Amino acid sequence: MPVDNYEGAFAGMSYFLKEIKDIDNNLVVVSPDAGGMTRAKSFHSHFSKHGYDHVGLAMISKERKAANQVDNMILIGDVKGKDCIIVDDMIDTAGTLCGAGSLLKEQGANKVYAFATHGIFSGPAGDRIGKSAFEKVITTDSMQVSADFAAKAGDKHGQVSLDLLIAEVIRRTH
């Protein structure tokens, strides 16, 4: 059976186009790891389609001690004085994500945001995000957020709806 992969980036773009001021000279899209660079480049390209041709692109290289244990993070790119959006496919416990957000602030980033299609938010994710360096962590509504997570993350988490994307998929298939 043929299937299509629909990116949640469409839903996140509207939020960031409204939220971030001076996008063209002030924004860097950041991949949290080498494996996510294709996703970050795709998200980055959406800004060009909206007329913003000077948005930067950066990547974080992670050195691991063992599986699921990051020993060191290195930023590849310049974020000093810029607003940053870390783009990922999903957020689970938010440990690596919050570490990446802290690294960007340490490297001189102005405001740090994150966008992920799926917010799994297990274990300590709510506490980590609530205490993090992020202005806001945005996810789509592909997964329901627990009341416990929402209380712990507070106003640092927001959701955008996939309703228009899903409606368009249905329209095109019928």
- Residues tagged active-site: 62
| Beta carbons within 10 angstroms of residue 42's beta carbon | 13
- Cβ neighbourhood burial of 62 (10 Å; 0-12, 13-18, 19+): middle
Nearest Cα residue to 20 out of 113, 87, 92, 138:
113
